[in-house]
Chain A
Amino acid sequence: AQKVTQAQTEISVVEKEDVTLDCVYETRDTTYYLFWYKQPPSGELVFLIRRNSFDEQNEISGRYSWNFQKSTSSFNFTITASQVVDSAVYFCALSSETTGGFKTIFGAGTRLFVKA
């Protein structure tokens, strides 16, 4: 069975602080994909990053960075020097290919509050 766990329900930080959002996943598939999505108050799901199971290289994109570790089944997301505009719910998701499509499940989400 597949599962995504985001243990942090809510995180509150002050602007300019660094913050790490944790994501732990479970899957028996050898080929899978991991994602992070941002959901601002307006409601849309904004794609942030995709990683496939064969690519453990960490990635940095501006103030965002991701740490993928298969050994611990974790795909953590760090925001450096957080800003008020980073306030949103962040979802980690796991996707694997099935017959006729992808099966994607989401974690429960972490609500990030960045205070000025």
Chain B
Amino acid sequence: AAGVIQSPRHLIKEKRETATLKCYPIPRHDTVYWYQQGPGQDPQFLISFYEKMQSDKGSIPDRFSAQQFSDYHSELNMSSLELGDSALYFCASSPMGQGIDESGSTGELFFGEGSRLTVL
């Protein structure tokens, strides 16, 4: 079965540079989430999109922006990179269903393998 695809898997950037991460959700999943996991930390929610509109926002820095495109893929843009941005970035997708008893809604986020960003 198709999974969530993230690219690139590894990225090395210098301070103050810009980076873009891409995420391709599972087909027919209309919701995409971005999480940031620093070394030794738990994944922290950054932002989510439902049907190409931002649906929720977490601890995403102003230097970061994201969008979901018409084909449902999403991109996370990070500018003026700082050393502290070095982390594993996960994208996840889910289908939106009608509720707990409906087959489309399980509450589960399907995670990609992550993109590891290193800022030097």
Contacts and interface: CB of A to CB of B under 8 A. Distances in A.
Given A102-B94, A104-B109, A109-B42, A43 B31 contact: no
B107 A32 contact: yes
A108 B50 contact: no
Given A52-B100, A100-B50, A105 B94 contact: no
A55 B92 CA distance: 24
A31 interface: yes
Contacts of B72: none
- Closest 9 interchain pairs by CB? A33-B107, A100-B55, A100-B50, A106-B42, A95-B107, A45-B111, A101-B55, A44-B113, A101-B31
Interface in B68-120: 88, 90, 92, 94, 96, 99-100, 105-111, 113-114, 116
B53 A43 contact: no
B100 A54 contact: yes
B88 A43 contact: yes
Interface of B: 31, 33, 41-43, 45, 48-51, 53, 55-56, 88, 90, 92, 94, 96, 99-100, 105-111, 113-114, 116
A45 B90 contact: yes
Interface in A16-45: 31-33, 35, 37, 43-45
A54 B99 CA distance: 12
